[in-house]
Amino acid sequence: QSVLTQPPSVSAAPGQKVTISCSGSSSNIGNNYVSWYQQLPGTAPKLLIYENNKRPSGIPDRFSGSKSGTSATLGITGLQTGDEADYYCGTWDSSLSAGRVFGTGTKVTVL
């Protein structure tokens, strides 16, 4: 089981805002950078956010990331039907020899 916990699902109507939480501990989120990934149905994950709140080129500013203590949050504003996907957080865990961990994943449904 993952050391990063996400809600299984969130939903909202088109145009609304959703937030996805990623809860961890001091050995992972609390002291390390968080990244977020979008996985559209049947496709590979795509990087949305790195270093807590930075967006790669081409990612719209409707997507935002933040971190507070041992939790991180992905926000999506102006929700679109094309945003319906699974979203995963990821980070480094200093207590693990390999370090790399992903969250449990959250399904975003556009009502």
| Contact set with another protein (CB under 8 A) | 2, 31-35, 37, 43-47, 50-51, 56, 88, 90-92, 94, 96-105
Is 27 in contact with 101 (CB distance < 8 Å)? no
- Considering the complex, state which of residue 13 and residue 98 has its C-beta at the smaller distance from another protein: 98
Do strands 85-92 and 100-102 pair parallel, antiparallel, or not at all (unpaired)?
antiparallel
To another protein, the closest distance from the beta carbon of 46 in angstroms equals: 7
To another protein, the closest distance from the beta carbon of 61 in angstroms equals: 18
Radius of gyration (C-alpha) of the chain in whole angstroms = 13
To another protein, the closest distance from the beta carbon of 15 in angstroms equals: 28
To another protein, the closest distance from the beta carbon of 63 in angstroms equals: 14
- Considering the complex, state which of residue 14 and residue 96 has its C-beta at the smaller distance from another protein: 96
Q: What residues contact 10, with CB distance under 8 A and at least 6 apart?
A: 18, 19, 20, 106, 107, 108, 109
Distance CA 99, CA 106 (A): 22
- Considering the complex, state which of residue 8 and residue 17 has its C-beta at the smaller distance from another protein: 8
